Structure 1
């Protein structure tokens, strides 16, 4: 087991989502587990969404990590590959403002085209950050085995499920959206990591700094 950064070291996290709720579904438990860690900041960038959905995104992330900031854009949902230049520009603009320690983004092999594009582009924009690709359950059945796990406390796992439905009321009527699904994914990843609950990620490249005892 290794930590994201040595105790007391600054930890700046950028969470990138194609849609409102991607970030919270994919890594909300991890963010809850970081609450209270000194010298930690969280920022979110969401690429698509109606005005209602963007409002949800702006209010949701601070519920998972207090004082988190969110920028939500209005690119067309489901059409990000056709707007490659705009997506790339948005990421580069964000990179000009932020040099995060960790970037959390969708998986590059995600079946959804919007997720997949972001997963592919983040490593071309943030070359010196630790990039953790989160997973999002969907009807495509595209789950793969993670190679990184973040163990969660039972209270953080329960809190994540509670907050998802509270923060995204526009989604609760969807047939796939329910507490059992979100809990089940965390329970499965927990079993795989010899804990009760966990979130799974994919990391394509990991740099170990032996002097600092940190990863990046």
Structure 2
């Protein structure tokens, strides 16, 4: 079954994109954001990262603009300790609750609560406690831990968007190019696999634990 992604009110579609680290959002949902920016005039996006050095945050700012051209974009970057978010659980929760008090998005893109990385997992676990009335799509990030799951929600990508995503990842995050897992083969291979699962060529996949049909 295909369900359209539409704004809940009269205004443009609003999206909250949450990431533990710079590049999380773009690796996991960059194609989705590129597609929404192309299809949804007036797209409103609040882009939030919880960790990042000044250099990495500069990369993230450039990436946010590149992946969401023309969107009404608000960027919030925090410098909580990378790799230690469980130790500052209360601060992460407080930040999320502050965002929830000021923004009611149509859809939230956030890490999967079962992610093997402790930072991703902390954010993913806390999102449902702060946002109880929004559609939350939990994204996946390939990594050496081998924690890829069985997603149940798919966003098909055109070949153009899939390749644009890969190109922008390399352009916007030069600090990551030397990592052995980083590269076109990794990103396109996962997109091709998820595309096969939803009868598309390429796709990004998410897990949705609760969906209300209105």
Cα displacement (A) at 1:6: 6.3
Cα displacement (A) at 1:38: 2.5
**Number of matched residues?**
209
1:144-168, CA deviations, whole angstroms, 9 ceiling, x for partnerless residues? 1110000000000000000001000
Which of 14, 25, 28 is equivalent to 2:27?
25
Indicate the SS of the match to 1:149: strand
Match of 2:130 in 1: 125
CA distance in 2, matches of 1:133, 1:196: 21
CA distance in 2, matches of 1:206, 1:9: 21
Which of 134, 155, 159 is equivalent to 1:150?
155
Gaps of at least 5 residues in structure 2 are: none
With 129-138 and 91-100 compared, the bigger mean Cα shift is at: 91-100
Compute the TM-score of the two structures, normalised by the length of structure 1: 0.93
CA distance in 2, matches of 1:195, 1:9: 30
1:21-78, CA deviations, whole angstroms, 9 ceiling, x for partnerless residues? 0000010000111123124211210000111011111111110112422111000100
Match of 2:107 in 1: 102
Gaps of at least 5 residues in structure 1 are: 210-216
Compute the TM-score of the two structures, normalised by the length of structure 2: 0.94
RMSD: 1.4
Does structure 2 retain, via aligned residues, the 8 Å contact 1:79–1:114?
A: yes
* Alignment of 1:38 onto 2:54: no
CA distance in 1, matches of 2:175, 2:113: 27
Match of 2:67 in 1: 64
Which of 54, 58, 63 is equivalent to 1:55?
58
1:116-175, CA deviations, whole angstroms, 9 ceiling, x for partnerless residues? 011111111111110000000000000011100000000000000000010001111111
CA distance in 1, matches of 2:6, 2:175: 36
